[in-house]
Amino acid sequence: MQQSFHLPDIECLTAFVAVAEAGSFNAAGQRLHRDATVVSRRVNSLEEILGVRLLERSTRRTALTEAGEAYLHRIRPLLQGLVAAGQETERFSDGEPRGRLRLALPGSFGRMWLMSLLVEFRETFATVSLDVSFSNRFVDLIGENFDLAIRLGVLPDSRLVSRKLADRKRVIVASPDYLSKRGTPATPQDILAHDCLIFTGKANPSAWEFTAPRGGQLSIPITGHFASDDAEALVHAAVAGHGLLYATDWLVGRELADGRLVSVLDRFPIPDEGAIYVVHPSTQHIPNKTRAFADWITQRFSQPLPWQLRQTS
């Protein structure tokens, strides 16, 4: 029958190697910043576990036994490897950011506004490699082994750590050509006479909500001849003059900047509790690569926002 073997404590192994190299318990204690009696107890414990004497002690000197010589030869490189591994691993949480950073980004937003920033990040942090996934679903960061995500909307209750990058704003837009033909709506009720581009991914696609100037909420039923679950497709339809579009400011930032679309009904804000967030798992022992990206993207999203830069340039 195979006997079970109790692995020695690493402190015992360290004490034995220190005594073997220093030649005495006192010298080993000074090296380890421990009392000589503590070092002696740990070596004794190691010998009891192994069932063999590793050191010959006398009042004047300490010497390795034959078994001690053989044991030292085997465990010294193992301890050196453990130290090196610990030092290498510590660099992931201290010092220069390094390693592979797995990011989960929202599809349209990520392609439009984050890809150029990711290129800048790589140029700034050359020792970090990026593995980027684009998806409009809220991925399971821990279960799917992501380091960090950018999320849009309202965050569900979660153990994840979140940091708001920016607010988002809902707008109603249309092409100048459409407005010249159909007129510019002055109140939300005027939408009833307009063609609307319908985003079927909205919680309630058949109505647009507004905040009245004196407070309160208005819900306006909409109709139209163009519906899609792809917001970018609806932007193209709006630019082509097919109707009014209920959109997020970042989605139509480029079109507003170059005049292909204009906003209407600005006096009637659209209620929206959502925002743009960077999220990652617990703040305890966070890798330096994750911390570096979260800090960097927060700084890059300081005002003015990327899509606002285009509008003011």
Domains of the chain as residue ranges with CATH = 10-90 (1.10.10.10), 99-168+274-312 (3.40.190.10), 170-264 (3.40.190.10)
Q: What is the pLDDT of residue 68?
A: 87
- Rounded-to-integer distance, Cα 78 and Cα 71, Å: 11
> What is the signed CA dihedral for 238, 222, 151, 248, rounded to 10 degrees?
40
- Rounded-to-integer distance, Cα 119 and Cα 116, Å: 5
Q: What is the pLDDT of residue 59?
A: 66
The mean pLDDT values, 10 residues at a time, for the chain of 313 residues are: 65 88 87 88 90 83 87 86 66 70 93 91 92 87 87 80 90 97 96 96 92 84 94 96 96 94 93 89 78 92 72 46
Neighbours of 143 (CB within 10 A): 7
- Rounded-to-integer distance, Cα 115 and Cα 258, Å: 21
Q: What is the pLDDT of residue 26?
A: 87
Nearest to 294 by CA among 192, 202, 160: 160
Tokens of 309: 């830069």
pTM, to two decimals: 0.67
- Rounded-to-integer distance, Cα 231 and Cα 211, Å: 23
- Rounded-to-integer distance, Cα 120 and Cα 265, Å: 37
Q: What is the pLDDT of residue 77?
A: 85
